[in-house]
Amino acid sequence: MMKNTKFRTIGVSLFCIILLGMLSTSIVANGNYNVALTKGTEVLIVSQYDEAAWKTTVNASTTPSNWFEGDSNQTGAKSKYTMKGWNFVTWNTYDVFVSLFLPLLFESEELITLLGLMNSQGYNETTINTNYTNTYNLWVGLRAAWNFTIGIFEEDPTNTNDALLIFKNPTDFDDILNNYNNLSVELNSLPAFQFSGYSFPILNAEEFLWLFIFNGFTLGFPFAYYLAELITTLDCENATVSDNVLIINRTGETNYTVEISYGSEGIMSSFTVKDEDNNIIYQIVSSNSDWVFYTIIVIIAICIGGLSAYLIFRKLRINKIRNRNK
């Protein structure tokens, strides 16, 4: 009877594992990605910065603060993010152009001028959505953000509504980028924009992805499949995926590599710059990494082990009582 109990317990565990695998396969097959955000606070730390190597490898005239705001060019600097909430929404082409691309490419004080110029030339929300009929489903998360600082965090965040964007279907990015470029060509050809001094840059896939990484890019779950499908959709020649890590090959003063890890919520948990010899030039890590996720896994494993032990002990005790009564 004890062997049967063991086999029954093992069978249940195997069934759960198989079922989980089937569900994961189903999720990928259907392109049905989900949000993995949770409320809480995360702190990122600049763990390493070799300024001399940066100047000779990445760019002689820049520092990491050109990529990350605040004191990100100082080892030990920290930034903080507190997730406030998220919502599932549907965007049209106008929403994507105004809420995604304009903040990527222009300063906030320029946006009102640009939108005014667009509207004066008949490129308002109604016209753009009539000409470009795509719609996109996504989650929009909002978090309070504190820029990197070498000192103590201020009481008030640098940005009270830092947006995270999780497009439900990564294959949408092909249409998103194509529509942006086509619309930009139209706007750039207008005399009003030519005389204004403003123009919309035409972006290739690598340029778009690089800009998006620093401005709200967040993964849907399961993360590795989401990343792989995104890179395939955009046909990024200089980007590869390894599990939850996005690897981008770039050229500055010399060739270098950027490796970006995404944690248990689909948000960047580490950012590493390496030279051609795989030496770390710059690195940001999460102070809490994925400890919550792995703690949950350990707790589940302990519970399963405890339940199995209880069932076996209970069966042994019953058999012992029965033997006494014979």
Model confidence pLDDT, tens digit, residues 64-79:
999 999 999 999 999 9
Estimate the crossing angle of helix 172-188 against helix 223-234, to 10 degrees: 40
Length of the chain: 326
Closest CA to 262 of 231, 241, 232, 236: 241
- Provide the pLDDT for residue 290: 43
Domains of the chain, by residue range, sit at: 1-30+295-326, 31-289
Q: Where residue 287 falls among pLDDT bands split at 50, 70, 90?
A: confident
85: region left, alpha or beta (phi > 0 left; psi from -120 to 50 alpha): left
Q: ω into residue 222 within 30 of 0, thus cis?
A: yes
Tell me how far apart the alpha carbons of residues 96 and 91 are, in angstroms, rounded to a whole number: 7
68-121 residue pLDDT tens:
999 999 999 999 999 999 999 999 999 999 999 999 999 989 999 999 999 999
Instruction: State whether residue 81 is helix, strand or coil.
Output: strand
The first and second tokens of residue 151, run together, are 């000192």
State the number of CA atoms in the 13 A half-sphere of 102 facing the CB: 18
Region 131-138: mean pLDDT is 97
Q: Are 46 and 72 in contact (CB under 8 A)?
A: yes
Non-local CB neighbours of 146 within 8 Å, separated by 6+ positions? 79, 80, 81, 153, 154, 157, 158
- Provide the pLDDT for residue 321: 61
- Provide the pLDDT for residue 9: 37
CB neighbours of residue 122 within 10 Å: 10
Estimate the crossing angle of helix 291-325 against helix 2-30, to 10 degrees: 150
Q: Are 33 and 220 in contact (CB under 8 A)?
A: yes
Residues of the chain with pLDDT > 90, as a percent, come to 77
144-196 residue pLDDT tens:
999 999 999 999 999 999 999 999 999 999 999 999 999 999 999 999 999 99
Residue with tokens 């590599």: 257
pTM for the whole thing?
Answer: 0.78
Residue with tokens 């000409």: 131
DSSP secondary structure string, 58-79?
Answer: T-TT--GGGTSSBSTTSTT-EE
Estimate the crossing angle of helix 223-234 against helix 205-213, to 10 degrees: 140
